[in-house]
Structure 1
Amino acid sequence: MVKRTSYHHGALRDTLMDACLRLIDTEGIAAVSLRRVAREAGVSTGAPYHHFADRAALLAALSTQGFELLAAELTATRAAATGDPMDTLAALAAAYVRFAREHPAHFRLMFRPELSQPEKHPDTIVAADAAFALLTDAIADSVAAGLLPAAKAEILGLTWWGIGHGLASLWTDGHLEKRSAELGTTAPELVDDILRTLTDLISGPR
Structure 2
Amino acid sequence: MVKTKTKSKKRRTYTTDKHNSKTRIDTINKVNPFDLHVNRLKHDVLGKRRNYEKGGQPLKSRSRGIEKRKRTLLKELNSVFKQNTFIDHRLGENDPTLTNDEKFMQRLIAERTKTRPGKESRYNLNDEEDLTHYGQSLSKSDELNQKPIIDEYDDDDDNNLNKGRLNSEHFFGGFKSSNDQHKPQTKQEWIDNMIKSTKLDKYERQRENEKLYDMTQTLDEQWKALSTLM
- TM-score, normalising length: structure 2: 0.17
* Higher relative helix content: 1
Higher relative contact order (CA 8 A, sep 6+): 1
- TM-score, normalising length: structure 1: 0.19
Max radius of gyration: which structure?
2
